[in-house]
Chains A and B, each alone.
Chain A
Amino acid sequence: MTPELITFILLASIAVASGLGMLFSRNAVYSAIYLIINFITVAVFYLLLGGAFIAVSQVAVYAGAIMVLFLFVIMLLGAEKLGRSGDTLPWQRPLAIILGLGLVAETLYILFFQAGELVALKDLPEGFGSPSSVGSVLFQEYLLPFEVTSILLLVAMIGAIILTRQEKKNAGR
């Protein structure tokens, strides 16, 4: 048992637990908070894997901006709780759980019995995953996709505005 392993198990348990918490909590607000916890643990994993910039982005964008948006919408709609009005698809839930377990089993089987262990042999070079190194790759090799992303965001923004705009029916004209 290395300290690394202990840390991993600890963090992994938190991640899985918070994921399940999100899945099973009745209140959507709790789900959102569980998810934030999950995101933060994942961010820690990023750090462990040498992705400093991504980890920070994860916390800032995901755990911060996106989840706040979720919370905001939940509270706006007052949709924290959803009444259980008889499951319309009775066999969906057991089937889904079986399939989910099946998927995990399959993946783990592949990882540990077919593909062999994936081991990082070398130490990382200095500055790998730092903002400057990520930035230089991003603005040189991935410049065009980067710019396209900006358009995507713009479109999403406009789309969101239009979709949520209150339609003023029968007013005016």
Chain B
Amino acid sequence: MLLSEIATSGPDFFYLAPWVVFFPVIGLLINMIFGGRLGEKAVGGIASTASGLTFVVAVLLLISLRTHHEGATVLLAEWISIGELQLDWAFRVDTLSTTMMLVVGGVGTLIHIYAIGYMHEDVRYKNDPGRFRRFFAFLNLFIAAMMILVTGDNYLMLFVGWEGVGLCSFLLIGFWYEMDTLAQASTANAMAAKKAFITNRVGDFGFLIAGMIMFWAFKSVQFDTVFEAAHHVAEHNPGVILAITLFMLLGVAGKSAQIPLYVWLPDAMAGPTPVSALIHAATMVTAGVYLVARSAPLYTLVPQAQFIVAIVGGATALFAATIAVGQYDIKRVLAYSTISQLGFMVAAVGMGAFVAGMFHLVTHAFFKALLFLSAGSVILGVERGHHHAAHGHHHDDHAHEHNEVFDPGDMRNMGGIRKRMPLTFWVYIIGSLALAGIFPLAGFWSKDEILAEALSLNFTVYILLAVAAFFTAFYMGRQVWMVFFGEPKHEAAEQAEESPPVMTVPLMVLAALSILGGALNLPGLGTFTHWIEHTYEKFHLHLHHGEFNITVAITSTVLALLAIGLSWVLYGRKAVTQDQPDPLKRILGPVFVGMENKWWVDELYWAVILNPYIALARFTADVIDWRFWHDWFHDKVIAGTFQWVSRTLLDRWFDQRGIDGFANGLADSTKELAQWLRGIQTGFVRNYALSVFIGVVVILGYLILQ
């Protein structure tokens, strides 16, 4: 290639795309096979390097895409090919997938590095250092699966990653599988992991059905083929597209924790904090948003589906935000916040504001990862403090120290931590403000874009989202006041300690990104919009260009500030401790009880779905299959009838009285004869000889007489 050509066409690194999967797999294998002999540093280093290399590849792809907007598809191998069904292992590089790769690789690497420090302490506190290696193996597996998800060139390959990340989520939620979140022996974490996987499977069921309808409608599940034929199919059979998109929504609801399948995400906080940050905030849960954005050519054809998606997103955003207000666990608040923010994104992509949704996805990845990691830093700091405090008391109340179950994540145990952990405090403030949507942090720009789009596209959703945004600012304010300000409410918080640099440096990087992330898509410039549009150009998809709306921006900023002020009134002036009710409870009464108890949705699911299924399964297994079918029908009816026929009918009546009467008579007479004949067999040789001799004499006599 000539130099000039390179200059004009730019470098082309598309062939590197499969390496985004290979690098983490290599890292995973190295750690699994040799990890036992390597130290913690090496294991963490290898895993982080593997993750870092994927980021490098993603950056190279980004560079290539700047000149080759159309992207490329890298074919690795044929996968399944039966008749019309042609599925390949093919990697799709375009602006949309590369955005995801950058987020996954970038945030993933930072979290890997952070985890070296975090897991070092975590495995020490929980008394199982051998588990360090497994954590990083799982983390690399996750990166690989997530990369498959975002780079897949067909729906089925996307589904491979889709379930793969679900598996990693399961493994990592259940990382401390023998305890609960308070490190007490229990199956709670394992149950949470199982819950996550099965809830996701319900979503995957929708995905699979969507895939099957798609195949029989389009005879393909490859993106380009499907999207190109979508118009044609929609004209003849719009119901098919509607069905596909709605079933796909079920998948989205599972993976991205939307109503009605969001229930797994709060429980997923049982996993170590880096996992919560990486999987359950920044990357995996956004897969649903990515899926809708990827399927934009389908969704734009069916406004009904779009409406439903948007409503689901908006409702989730508000619903989860209300629950977040009533939570006391620092990570649980963030978890509901994540659900709420995912609702924002889903609502955005549902309305057709794909760029806004993706933009919020990116900025959210920054500040939510930051928040989770800082929360982890806080928890570890409090834990260290608890450790110190316990050692201080070592002499006087030894027994008490061991019996007390201390929850380092309960915000009611904290307070005044800003003095003990200043660095964590500052980055947390940045993350919170970004999430609350305060100018000029990243969250402001992206959330505002969504709200502006909503105002023009779907007013109901706008109302839902605006109220949700108000709640967002409120619960973040509540959290910050409770955790960082006021006086320490527990001696552990009093003695909390700042985290080591291996943890704080990634925090600072993420804080910087949370501040500057908005620059990606400033109003007027629209860098990110143009960038994403390249992907949709091919399908002649005309995206709705949301204009910056100053009214919306001001309204939401005022709302946010109002909410923060309100939270200061309630929580900033007076500390809330474990034994006294939340100040909000006095005002809201039963409504707050509902928020505290997550509106009893889990209980509802147990009552309506899980318990009936378990009862039905037990009934089927025990009564129908075993007692009725196995024991009664087979053993009693079939075998019993046979035995009755053979024993009673044939044997006792027919055989014993009829045939046996005759046969036994014969047998008995034979027996008697034999008994008599037996006497002749004396066993004496002489006796036998006598018989012979008798024979001789008799025969001779006979001959004479003849």
Q: Which residues of A contact B (CB under 8 A)?
A: 88-89, 92, 95-96, 99, 102-103, 106-107, 109-110, 114
Q: Is the CB of B701 within 8 A of A106?
A: yes
Q: List 28 A-B contacts (CB under 8 A).
A: A88-B684, A89-B682, A89-B684, A89-B686, A89-B687, A92-B686, A92-B687, A92-B690, A95-B690, A96-B690, A96-B693, A99-B690, A99-B693, A99-B694, A102-B697, A103-B693, A103-B696, A103-B697, A103-B700, A106-B697, A106-B700, A106-B701, A106-B704, A107-B700, A109-B704, A110-B700, A110-B704, A114-B704
In angstroms, Cα B151 to Cα A158, docked, is 93
How would you classify the secondary structure of chain A's contact residues: helix, strand, loop or mixed? helix
Residue of B whose beta carbon sits closest to that of A100: B693
How would you classify the secondary structure of chain B's contact residues: helix, strand, loop or mixed? helix
Q: Which residues of B contact A (CB under 8 A)?
A: 682, 684, 686-687, 690, 693-694, 696-697, 700-701, 704
Kindly list chain B residues whose C-beta atoms are within 8 Å of the C-beta of A103: 693, 696-697, 700
In angstroms, Cα B684 to Cα A96, docked, is 14
Q: How far is the CB of A57 from chain B (nearest CB, A)?
A: 28
Q: How far is the CB of A87 from chain B (nearest CB, A)?
A: 10
Kindly list chain A residues whose C-beta atoms are within 8 Å of the C-beta of B704: 106, 109-110, 114
In angstroms, Cα B705 to Cα A110, docked, is 10
Q: Is the CB of B697 within 8 A of A99?
A: yes
Q: How far is the CB of B686 from chain A (nearest CB, A)?
A: 6
Besides A92-B690, A99-B690, 13 new A-B residue pairs in contact (Cβ under 8 A), listed by A number: A88-B684, A89-B684, A89-B687, A96-B690, A96-B693, A99-B693, A102-B697, A103-B700, A106-B697, A106-B700, A106-B704, A110-B700, A110-B704
Which 6 pairs, one residue from A and one from B, show the smallest C-beta to C-beta distance?
A: A106-B700, A102-B697, A99-B697, A103-B697, A99-B693, A106-B701
In angstroms, Cα B704 to Cα A123, docked, is 32
Residue of B whose beta carbon sits closest to that of A110: B704
Residue of B whose beta carbon sits closest to that of A98: B697
Kindly list chain A residues whose C-beta atoms are within 8 Å of the C-beta of B684: 88-89
Kindly list chain A residues whose C-beta atoms are within 8 Å of the C-beta of B686: 89, 92
In angstroms, Cα B694 to Cα A106, docked, is 13
Kindly list chain A residues whose C-beta atoms are within 8 Å of the C-beta of B696: 103
Residue of B whose beta carbon sits closest to that of A103: B697
Kindly list chain A residues whose C-beta atoms are within 8 Å of the C-beta of B700: 103, 106-107, 110
Kindly list chain B residues whose C-beta atoms are within 8 Å of the C-beta of A110: 700, 704
In angstroms, Cα B696 to Cα A107, docked, is 11
In angstroms, Cα B686 to Cα A89, docked, is 9
Residue of B whose beta carbon sits closest to that of A114: B704
In angstroms, Cα B176 to Cα A16, docked, is 113
In angstroms, Cα B690 to Cα A107, docked, is 18
Q: How far is the CB of B692 from chain A (nearest CB, A)?
A: 10
In angstroms, Cα B630 to Cα A95, docked, is 73
Kindly list chain B residues whose C-beta atoms are within 8 Å of the C-beta of A95: 690
